[in-house]
Amino acid sequence: MTTVERADSGVDTPTDDDTAWWTHLGQDDPAGHAAMASLHELLLRASRYQVWRLRDLLPGADAAQVDDLAQQAADDALVAVLRKLPTFEGRSRFTTWAFKFGILHAGVAVRSQAWRHREVPLPDTFPLVDPAPSPAAVSEAAQLSRAVHDAIATQLTPHQRRVVLALLVEDVPIDVLADRLGSSRNALYKALHDARQRLRQALIASGDLDAPSTRRTP
Amino acid sequence: MNDQNPTVSALTVASLLVDTEPYLSCDDCFERMDQYVERRLADRHHDDLEMTTHLAGCGVCAEEADALEALLREDAQ
């Protein structure tokens, strides 16, 4: 696709040309309706791709149910894209920009469905590490695990502790946890970031973790 | 938590200690993801420290970036 192509209706349908998308999307005329249909098709492609990519998270769902999920995600993504359209700055191709909304909404839908009937665990203690193969590795891993266990217990706030353990030990997806806690993905990631910084500082201070070498600057 | 096997892997311990500085929020990661993925596809050596740091510390964002890259690769074929 390079620019606009003539659809069967005789209406110019935006294809790969970002300007064409811009020109027609949101217009209440045949070209605008055709652009909207093309955008939905684009988003459905992305949401189907992502839903099938995450198919293993939905072992009980048949093909029709999986496709329904992709359709719903594409509908949600369409609303999001139209809402965000004024913020599109052309830093990537329009199709790439739109695809990411389809992928986001499909992933959220799949994870939400996968955890729909599952209890989200919110532990407040950290278990010890699995034994490693060699005695030296066992000892080293066990020592690090104990240090992490102690730092989690003493250095983190109760909220940070629950977030960290749910996300990284129980493998609860961040959007699922945000939904259950009435929080947001941003807020939970910030709590995780702050907790990791505290853990790292504690372990560096105790000599259980090497201090970072000089980081590159952007 | 699985009470019958109350242990975690060394990988989990490592994930707890990932250095996620410089900080980037999930929203900002999403905002930049399309441009980042396109640039990575054009140049495998392209780097964006804030993006790579965030993706190393956020499994869901990393999965979405991987999916977008895979979709664009498929699209290019």
Q: Is residue A122 part of a domain?
A: no
Which residues lie closer than 8 Å to B73 by C-beta, 6 or more apart? B41
Most B CBs within 10 A among A118, A196, A197, A198, hence the mutation to make, goes to: A196
With 60 as the cut, is the pLDDT of residue A1 above it?
no
A46-60, A194-208, B6-20: least confidently modelled range: B6-20
Say if residue A107 is in the same domain as residue A172.
no
Domain stop point among A50, A82, A114: A114
With 60 as the cut, is the pLDDT of residue A16 above it?
no
Instruction: Fill in the amino acid letter for B18.
Output: V
* Residues A20-29, mean pLDDT to the nearest whole number: 85
Nearest-Cα residue of chain A relative to residue B28: A186
pLDDT digits (tens, 9 = 90+) for A72-105: 999 999 999 999 999 998 999 999 999 999 999 9
| pLDDT band of A26, cuts 50, 70, 90 | confident
Helix (H) or strand (E) holding B52: helix B49-57
| Rounded distance between C-alpha atoms, residue B39 and residue A183, angstroms | 32
> How near does any CA of chain A get to the CA of B44, in Å?
17
**Nearest to residue B13, comparing CAs of A175, A142, A154?**
A142
Q: Is residue A201 part of a domain?
A: yes
Q: Is residue A200 part of a domain?
A: yes
* Residues B25-31, mean pLDDT to the nearest whole number: 98
pLDDT digits (tens, 9 = 90+) for A160-209: 999 999 999 999 999 999 999 999 999 999 999 999 999 999 999 999 99
* Residue of A145, A175, A216 lying closest to B13 (CB–CB): A145
| Rounded distance between C-alpha atoms, residue A26 and residue A84, angstroms | 12
Q: What is the pLDDT of residue A10?
A: 40
Q: Answer with the residue of higher pLDDT: A90 or B6.
A: A90
- Residue B12, SS3 per DSSP: helix
Say if residue A101 is in the same domain as residue A148.
no
- Residue B32, SS3 per DSSP: helix
- Residues of chain A found within 8 Å of residue B18, distances taken between Cβ atoms: 196
Compute the Cα dihedral for A205, A210, A213, A217 and give only its sign: negative
- Report the CATH number that the domain containing residue A10 is assigned in CATH: 1.10.1740
pLDDT digits (tens, 9 = 90+) for A138-157: 678 888 989 999 999 999 99
For residue A8, give its domain range.
Answer: 4-114
| Rounded distance between C-alpha atoms, residue B71 and residue A100, angstroms | 10
- Residues of chain A found within 8 Å of residue B35, distances taken between Cβ atoms: 91-92
Q: Is residue A28 part of a domain?
A: yes
- Report the CATH number that the domain containing residue A184 is assigned in CATH: 1.10.10.10
Helix (H) or strand (E) holding B20: none
| Rounded distance between C-alpha atoms, residue B26 and residue B55, angstroms | 9
Q: Is residue A20 part of a domain?
A: yes
Strand partners, A129: B8
Q: What is the pLDDT of residue A168?
A: 95
Q: Is residue A57 part of a domain?
A: yes
Q: Answer with the residue of higher pLDDT: B45 or A18.
A: B45
Q: Answer with the residue of higher pLDDT: A188 or A119.
A: A188
Say if residue A54 is in the same domain as residue A95.
yes
Longest C-alpha distance within chain A, in Å?
Answer: 74
Is the separation of the CB atoms in B32 and A218 below 8 Å? no
Say if residue A147 is in the same domain as residue A96.
no
Pairwise CB contact (< 8 Å): A92 & B38:
yes
- Residues of chain B found within 8 Å of residue A218, distances taken between Cβ atoms: 22, 48-50
| pLDDT band of A14, cuts 50, 70, 90 | low
Helix (H) or strand (E) holding B59: helix B59-76
Is the separation of the CB atoms in A148 and B17 below 8 Å? yes
- Residues of chain B found within 8 Å of residue A49, distances taken between Cβ atoms: 67, 70-71, 74
Nearest-Cα residue of chain A relative to residue B26: A186
Say if B69 is an interface residue toward chain A (CB within 8 Å).
Answer: no
Q: Which of residues 2-31 of B touch A (CB under 8 A)?
A: 6-10, 12-13, 15-23, 25-27, 30
**Nearest to residue A6, comparing CAs of A39, A30, A40, A42?**
A30
Say if residue A151 is in the same domain as residue A84.
no
- Residues of chain B found within 8 Å of residue A132, distances taken between Cβ atoms: 10
Most A CBs within 10 A among B23, B28, B39, B60, hence the mutation to make, goes to: B60
pLDDT digits (tens, 9 = 90+) for A59-72: 989 999 999 999 99
Pairwise CB contact (< 8 Å): B8 & A127:
yes
Pairwise CB contact (< 8 Å): A186 & B26:
yes
> Tokens 């190393």 label which residue?
B56
| pLDDT band of B44, cuts 50, 70, 90 | very high
How far from B32 is each of A58, A67, A100, B4, CA to CA, in Å? 29, 28, 10, 42
With 60 as the cut, is the pLDDT of residue B71 above it?
yes
A114-123, A181-190, B65-74: least confidently modelled range: A114-123
pLDDT digits (tens, 9 = 90+) for B47-57: 999 999 999 99
Q: Is residue A213 part of a domain?
A: no
Tally the domains of chain A.
2
- Residues of chain A found within 8 Å of residue B11, distances taken between Cβ atoms: none
Residue A182 Rama label (left phi>0; alpha psi -120 to 50; beta): left
Nearest-Cα residue of chain A relative to residue B72: A96
